[in-house]
Amino acid sequence: MPVASPLAQTLTAIYSAAVAAALPARSLVPHLPAMPRGQLIILAAGKAAGSMTPAAEAHYLDTLKVEPARITGIAVARHGYGAPTRLIPMIEAGHPVPDAASVEAASRALALAEAAGPDDLVLVLLSGGGSANWIAPAGTLTLPEKQAITRTMLRSGASIDEINTVRKRLSRIKGGRLALAAWPAPILTLAVSDVPGDEPSIIASGPTIADASTNADARAVIARHGIVLPASATSLLADPAMETPKPGDPRLSRASFRIIAKPAAAIEAAAEACAAAGYEPISLGADLEGEARTVAGAHAVQALDLQRKGRKAALISGGELTVTISGTGRGGPNQEYALALALNGAAGIAAMSGDTDGTDGGGGAASDPAGALIDASTLARAAAAGLHAGSMLANNDSTGFFEVLGDLLTPGPTLTNVNDCRVILIDP
């Protein structure tokens, strides 16, 4: 739909409300701890590091009037997601595929954690994207091998839980190992959740959290999705020494974890915005998972049923969908969901699907779209433009489809990340 249309404006306003509810600047400060007797070591990683780090700096430097010499640290965010800082150096690194800056950021974070003493406090500001931003390959695994594994797993359709289960076995920082490096210094993690169920051990691959998964679980993921690993990675998954610290490990006794922003808050804000726009909000939950086009088909059935019943309603959902890539096009789960929904839609239905971090799949650029919008005219406009929606969906080319129509959702980096926000508006 034309981006200036009233319906498009309503949908983008709902998306903006969802994002605003998850901004760390709103939720971080009340959770920040008092200064320790020694040094405060701030380690920030993920797509929200560019908002969490400046907020923490302002709290300690301006509100608490802490001497700058007592604070040190390192922050890393996805390329394009960094922000000016006053004290803590900020690195921008690759996502979803890591790069050399990811290795540098992890190396510096581990060194600072290892240098912490019992009177210091390691404050970890964590958000989704941290898995790619902190890369410390274990054993003989190389960065190019890690990059290739990441690309393969992202194309496989594996869930984020499955991907992170494998990542933990290939790393010196993930799966609780950052907390082990800081021991015996206390370590507090304040996290923005981007995973279904808000499971701490999955967020950014749980660098400060005990991990209940096992090497056998990781090997099962690889087998289930038919992923071929290099010998360096296969040996790590078979090495008992690469098993992660489990619940009850005494080396994690001084580690604590708190979630400061959750996907549910974004979905609740979207529901309020839908109600304000005159639609009856119907929440399908904040933790949906599954193949994007399959979920879209199920949601289309629900939307059409509401339309037949004459209800002016909004179907709202969050979570993190996946795409099993078999084509050569460009896209992401939110855009693929929107295209599949359009193929199953009808008059009187419009929708938006967007990732709250501001980017949905894509090539890793900060300018990648967050998702897409559709309405009852989508397929007709596509046909007039010479686009074959079904073929483009089969080729995983949702970006190419919506780019021609001008229906991409492009907010740019939001500096937060609480998964997807999907809204279907039904108006009989």
Three-state DSSP state, 359: coil
From the list 227, 228, 188, 184, the residue with the least C-alpha distance to 208 is 188
- Tell me the pLDDT band of 363, cut-offs 50, 70 and 90: confident
Backbone angles phi, psi at 214, to 5 degrees: -130, 170
Residues of the chain with CATH 3.40.50.10180: 23-136+171-210+245-261
How far, in Å, are 100, 104, 152, 214, 218 from residue 136 at the CA level?
10, 9, 19, 19, 18
- DSSP structural state of residue 33: P
Per DSSP, the residues of 214-236 read -HHHHHHHHHHTT----HHHHHH
pLDDT digits (tens, 9 = 90+) for 59-104: 999 999 999 999 999 999 999 999 999 999 999 999 999 999 999 9
CATH class of the domain whose range is 6-19+264-426: alpha beta
- How is residue 345 written in tokens? 């839609």
E strand map for 303-426: 313-317, 319-322, 349-355, 371-374, 408-409, 420-426
CA distances from 76 to 42, 59, 114 (A): 11, 19, 18
Q: Residue 169's pLDDT is what?
A: 96
What average pLDDT does range 183-203 have in this prediction? 95
CB atoms within 10 A of CB 173: 29
DSSP secondary structure letter of residue 203: G
319, pLDDT greater than 60: yes
Q: What is the pTM of this model?
A: 0.92
Residues of each domain in the chain carrying CATH 3.40.1480.10: 6-19+264-426
Rg (C-alpha) for the chain, rounded Å, is 22
pLDDT single digits (tens) 99-122: 999 999 999 999 999 999 999 999
Residue 281: both structure tokens together: 């909000």
Q: Which tokens is 245 given?
A: 């610290």
The pLDDT value given to residue 4: 58
Tell me, what's the pLDDT at 3?
Answer: 53
Candidates 1.10.3660.10, 3.40.50.10180, 2.20.25.160, 3.30.2350.10; correct CATH number of 23-136+171-210+245-261?
Answer: 3.40.50.10180
